[in-house]
Structure 1
């Protein structure tokens, strides 16, 4: 009787990236400070605490923002730690409870005086105070908008999980853009780069296509790399691989290959759209270029981080990176690396 477990081969999406990443030189100092900050709160469930601490959210920031100064890096680390915590908490919540958790986060970002004194509120207030030191009101308003969209998407994800409902590919991509929280992180580009762009440029059709392509590439690579852990925990309903398997009536390998092809098309379109950006004048164009480069770095940084953290592939991450062969964990077993 065979004991061989199912496996699948990752498409080599990093091969489609026409640029390389790097790591922020302030990583260790900023990570230590942000980690101590998030660990001073006790709202992550105890059974998830070790996994959360091993997740490498600070390392993700160092790969996705290698150009950031110390204070800017520390701020984005605090945001991603806050969002990771929200994600871990809501994974076990139904729609009604996830809505309450999300509104606490959003309302505290908007108005810290409306708080209930909980640990999540105190953590959000601390992040808000750090963020407002930069005096970038446009970035702050973008963050509020994207956080509201994120909260609504997390609630919908929880409701779909309750009903065991899997969306069709188009609807899923729209949801994933928001529940990934990547757009929340992109909202801080102006703070990290030290220059803001007006709404008419950020919302220009070509700029928006670049933005959404970068968000989609980040989300799809995350779905690809996190699938094993999610299927083991019973949370794979909100994953593009599951969506494709259901909609196309195909197996896991076919869906992974399709995801890889879609990722490549997004990258090809991204490269073309870079050449289609209009000019807003030399000074503004230079800032636009920095924003586009920041998007590119997010995509490659997220991919590189996925093989540096034990979050997805545990102790086998070097082997998986080399062979791209992923052996599925047993069902309902929360692998903690």
Structure 2
């Protein structure tokens, strides 16, 4: 955050290279973006960093949250808000627009939809490595006393309900008239596209499914990988609901 707030200042000698990367990144962004975007991005990026610090603390303590408190932290660690801010890099959207109740609710739904999809799709890899404490499926399994399939079914139903609510609210986005309406339309369309694009990226990037991403997308089933921490064999198959495709 210091590098972002002071991009004209050289970084301390011997500092981790990430500080200089952040400084150079922000020095370039300032030259091609609006002051409104810059203010909002710094705010949401700091929220993201605070969330990741909390996640690290939870991991060190082996602390598993309940669904409600998990979602509060996950809305920060998913990094959706600063990502959405990128959409307005060349815009000057007033606070009254961004803070409008309908815009805020759509933003929250888009964040939660991204969380649910990401946690479903990343669960296999994370449970295998023993790093699934910060995952909605693990938390739902514990809170609802169910297995992985039961938690995925619950997550898929919740996801479908949120998609329906998002679509209903989307047609209620207010009008402010003039060029501002075009910017709002572009911003909200980008937010909606982000949700679906993140899912497609998860199948194609090889981060979660290796070379089998498109196969999982087509068959909607997978076997859980053996846990590296205790040598358990495969478990499954599990159905990946088609509402997440």
TM tier, smaller: 0.7 to 0.9
**Residue equivalent to 1:324:** 220
Q: 1:282: how far off? A: 3.7
Distance 1:162 1:278, change over 3 A: same
Give, in whole Å, the separation in 2 of the partners of 1:272 and 1:238.
Answer: 30
Give, in whole Å, the separation in 1 of the partners of 2:54 and 2:10.
Answer: 24
**Residue equivalent to 1:142:** 40
**Residue equivalent to 2:241:** none
**Residue equivalent to 2:61:** 163
Asked if structure 2 preserves the Cα contact closer than 8 Å seen for 1:107 and 1:114, the reply is no
Residues paired across the two proteins, number: 226
**Residue equivalent to 1:98:** none
**Residue equivalent to 2:21:** 123
Aligned positions of 1:107-256 closer than 5 A = 107-112=2-7, 113=9, 115-116=11-12, 117-191=15-89, 194-256=90-152
Asked if structure 2 preserves the Cα contact closer than 8 Å seen for 1:169 and 1:243, the reply is yes
With 141-150 and 115-124 compared, the bigger mean Cα shift is at: 115-124
Q: 1:220: how far off? A: 1.4
Aligned positions of 1:1-337 closer than 5 A = 106-112=1-7, 113=9, 115-116=11-12, 117-191=15-89, 194-332=90-228
Q: 1:188: how far off? A: 1.3
TM-score (normalised: structure 1) = 0.65
TM-score (normalised: structure 2) = 0.88
**Where does structure 2 lack aligned partners over 5 or more consecutive residues?**
230-245
**Residue equivalent to 2:235:** none
**Residue equivalent to 1:30:** none
Give, in whole Å, the separation in 2 of the partners of 1:109 and 1:118.
Answer: 15
- CA deviations 1:163-195 (Å, max 9, x no partner) are 21111111111111111111111111112xx32
Give, in whole Å, the separation in 2 of the partners of 1:147 and 1:292.
Answer: 20
Give, in whole Å, the separation in 2 of the partners of 1:300 and 1:184.
Answer: 17
Give, in whole Å, the separation in 1 of the partners of 2:140 and 2:33.
Answer: 43
What secondary structure is seen at the aligned counterpart in 2 of 1:260? helix
Q: Which runs of 4+ in 1 moved over 6 A?
A: none
**Where does structure 1 lack aligned partners over 5 or more consecutive residues?**
1-105
